[in-house]
């Protein structure tokens, strides 16, 4: 169990290192001189050279990489070219916002997805088909478009919910319950958007996993010994179907963070995704690099957590490989 | 094949894709004027769907803020979306087959490193990588194709790797090797043709995914640039006029969802038709 987790942590660290290296290389290979961009068109050759030396850009690529990696690991992520703020502070505010959005949506998606998928696997063909059509459509919705349609319905037509941001303009003046209510109202639309799409994906997968388990011999044995359908589903089918489903949570994390990028951009949700999009549009390289690395770390950490979850559910892994 | 034709999911998928492709190819025949044609802006902007303007032109999906016909733009946008999606999937299938084939047929360090590479790229958030690459260069359709292709080959590589590995142990492959053929030739001539069936499923699912991502990039202004219509930048331009003219953003979104659903259903149906295990299941379960 410990060895298993150790290997996975190591693999995760390699992925993060790979992402950081890839980002570094891509940014260095990008056309355009960052120093010229920084100093503007009026800079003299001497000024350019001085700035280049100050930034360490006159050294060989490998040395630059080593220095940059050291600084990055130490938490010195530089300053945003566009705003001048330290990148670390910029992203430090953003990570909790993204985690709140992605985390809540993940939990809701899978709870609802499990319910819908389980309902489908036990339902008749008509219900099954209807639900299948619903889930495949939900899964196909582009987050930014669904977001716009929800804004149209709930903000412009119904005037119920705010369309963007994490808090109202007057949020600083609010206290206690009204402040919480303001937060929740801003949270509602981005969360609904991500969750609706997530439920589609999760339910489709749960249905498939349940069907795979239902055709196993041990389910027939359970039926044969006279257990009620509910008991068979809950004790024998659901428990076994849960293993691939939890594994899927880990595999779907990159897609979930990708989806969050669009949803954050549409709702101006102050998360990592929105910062990344803004930085990309402004060619703000330090922020782009750091946001990419932070996303990779979040994905890898999420994968490790799901590994723990699988090990906790599946006794074969919990007791080590020999037990199988 | 016959089973596939009887599958309603497959017929729906094929029908939608055929209609959209047909409309895209026959663009000028099924639409009025060009996608960027503007007439009297004040008189023709924000016409509701099914409206006829003062000059007598009919606008089935209304017009946008420049008085451009939304249906025409949708049809021309389908050209961009389908072409970019199809080429990106083609590129990722080529890369995936190469990586998977080599990993499946050359055991040892080659296989280990290629599989590690696959797992690595699979763990990356694809959109973040797309944004990163889009930030590096001037956005264009070609860049979108290359980037989507380079970040979409992993599932194909995994499938092909599995197939090739199991095929490599078959007698006809051993026979070909025993005859003294070069391994590369054995792989290309004898193994890969037999390993490509599951790739079709992956390609169908990948097409929907690629079209959706292209629209996403164009929506953020990092893909196909206006005034060339793409479904993504049409949604982006409709975003500003959501209150006055919701149809401008709604129409390309509906088209997008239809095409992605069609690709997914087609992929599912192909999967069931090609995979004997799930085929058995669908028969066994009360249907």
**CA gap B76, A267 in Å, rounded:** 29
B124 interfaces chain A, CB cutoff of 8 Å: yes
Residue contact A141–B221, C-beta within 8 A: no
Q: How far is B125 from chain A (nearest CA, A)?
A: 4
Measured between CA atoms, the residue of chain A closest to residue B130 is A258
B283 interfaces chain A, CB cutoff of 8 Å: no
Kindly indicate the confidence band of residue B96, based on its pLDDT and cuts at 50, 70 and 90: very high
pLDDT at B285: 38
A14 interfaces chain B, CB cutoff of 8 Å: yes
Interface predicted TM-score (ipTM) over 0.90: no
DSSP codes, A247-259 = HHHHHHHHHHHHH
Kindly indicate the confidence band of residue B1, based on its pLDDT and cuts at 50, 70 and 90: low
B200 interfaces chain A, CB cutoff of 8 Å: no
Residue contact A214–B285, C-beta within 8 A: yes
Q: Are A142 and A235 in contact (CB under 8 A)?
A: no
pLDDT < 70 stretches in chain A: 1, 30-34, 37-38, 55-56, 166, 168-174, 317-324
Residue contact B127–A15, C-beta within 8 A: no
A283 interfaces chain B, CB cutoff of 8 Å: yes
Angle A228-A233-A234 (CA atoms, 0-180°, nearest 5)? Answer: 100
Q: Are B168 and B105 in contact (CB under 8 A)?
A: yes
Residue contact A142–B257, C-beta within 8 A: yes
**CA gap A16, A154 in Å, rounded:** 39
Q: Mean per-residue pLDDT for B194-220? A: 86
**CA gap A177, B284 in Å, rounded:** 55
Which carries the bigger pLDDT value, residue B176 or residue B123?
A: B176
Kindly indicate the confidence band of residue B43, based on its pLDDT and cuts at 50, 70 and 90: low
Q: How far is A177 from chain B (nearest CA, A)?
A: 31
Closest partner CB to A265 (pick from B220, B238, B265): B220
With residues binned 3-state (H G I as helix, E B as strand, rest as coil), the percentages for chain B, rounded to 5, are 70, 0, 25
Q: How many residues does chain B have?
A: 287
B244 interfaces chain A, CB cutoff of 8 Å: no
pLDDT at B284 over 60: no
Residue contact B127–A137, C-beta within 8 A: no
Residue contact A125–B287, C-beta within 8 A: yes
**CA gap B240, A152 in Å, rounded:** 11
pLDDT at B279 over 60: no
Cβ contacts of residue B26 below 8 Å, gap of 6+? none
């Amino acid at each position: 169990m410990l060895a298993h987790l150790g290997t996975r942590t190591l693999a995760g660290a390699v992925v993060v290192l790979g992402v950081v290296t890839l980002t570094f290389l891509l940014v260095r290979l990008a056309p355009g001189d960052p120093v010229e961009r920084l100093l503007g068109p009026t800079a003299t050759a001497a000024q350019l050279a001085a700035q280049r030396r100050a930034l360490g850009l006159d050294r060989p690529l490998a040395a630059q990489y080593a220095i940059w990696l050291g600084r990055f690991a130490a938490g010195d992520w530089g300053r945003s070219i566009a705003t001048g703020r330290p990148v670390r502070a910029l992203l430090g505010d953003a990570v909790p916002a993204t985690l709140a959005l992605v985390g809540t949506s993940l939990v809701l998606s899978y709870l609802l997805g499990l319910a819908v998928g389980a309902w489908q696997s036990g339902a008749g063909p008509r219900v099954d088909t209807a639900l299948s059509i619903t889930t495949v459509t939900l899964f196909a919705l582009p987050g930014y478009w669904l977001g716009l349609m929800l804004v149209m319905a709930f903000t412009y037509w119904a005037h119920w919910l705010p369309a963007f941001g994490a808090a109202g303009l007057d949020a600083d003046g609010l206290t206690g319950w009204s402040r919480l209510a303001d937060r929740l109202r801003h949270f509602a639309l981005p969360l609904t958007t991500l969750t609706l799409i997530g439920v589609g994906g999760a339910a489709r997968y749960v249905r498939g996993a349940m069907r795979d388990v239902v055709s196993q011999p041990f389910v027939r044995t359970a039926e044969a010994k006279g257990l009620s359908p509910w008991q068979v589903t809950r004790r024998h089918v659901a428990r076994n179907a849960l293993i691939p489903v939890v594994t899927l949570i880990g595999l779907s994390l990159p897609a979930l963070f990708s989806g969050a990028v669009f949803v954050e951009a549409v709702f101006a949700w102050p998360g990592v995704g929105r910062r990344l999009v803004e930085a990309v549009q402004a060619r703000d390289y330090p922020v782009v690099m750091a946001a990419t690395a932070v996303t990779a770390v979040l994905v890898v950490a999420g994968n490790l957590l799901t590994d723990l979850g699988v090990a906790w559910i599946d006794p074969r892994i919990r007791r080590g490989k020999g037990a199988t | 094949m016959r089973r596939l034709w009887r599958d309603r999911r497959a017929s729906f998928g094929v029908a939608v894709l055929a209609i959209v492709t047909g409309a895209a190819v026959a663009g000028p025949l099924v639409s009025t004027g060009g996608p960027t044609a503007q007439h009297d802006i004040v008189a023709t902007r924000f016409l509701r769907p099914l409206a006829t303007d003062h000059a007598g032109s009919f606008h089935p999906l209304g017009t946008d803020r420049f008085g451009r016909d939304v249906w025409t733009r949708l049809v021309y946008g389908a050209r961009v979306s389908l072409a970019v999606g199809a080429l990106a999937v083609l590129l990722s299938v080529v890369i995936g087959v190469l990586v998977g084939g080599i990993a499946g047929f050359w055991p040892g360090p080659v296989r280990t490193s290629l599989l590690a590479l696959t797992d690595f790229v699979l763990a990356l958030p694809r959109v973040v990588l797309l944004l990163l690459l889009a930030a590096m260069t001037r956005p264009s359709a070609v860049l979108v194709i290359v980037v989507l292709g380079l970040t979409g080959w992993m599932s194909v590589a995994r499938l092909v790797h599995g197939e090739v590995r199991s095929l490599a142990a078959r007698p006809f492959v051993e026979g070909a090797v025993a005859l003294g053929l070069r391994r590369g030739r054995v792989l290309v001539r004898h193994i890969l043709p037999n390993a490509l069936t599951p790739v079709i499923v992956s390609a169908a699912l990948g097409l929907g995914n690629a079209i959706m991502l292209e629209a996403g990039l164009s929506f953020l202004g990092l893909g196909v640039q206006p005034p060339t219509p793409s479904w993504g930048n049409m949604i982006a331009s409709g975003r500003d006029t959501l209150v006055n003219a919701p149809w401008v953003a709604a129409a390309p979104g509906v088209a997008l969802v239809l095409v992605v659903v069609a690709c997914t259903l087609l992929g599912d149906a192909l999967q069931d038709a090609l995979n004997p295990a799930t085929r058995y299941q669908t028969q066994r379960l009360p249907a």
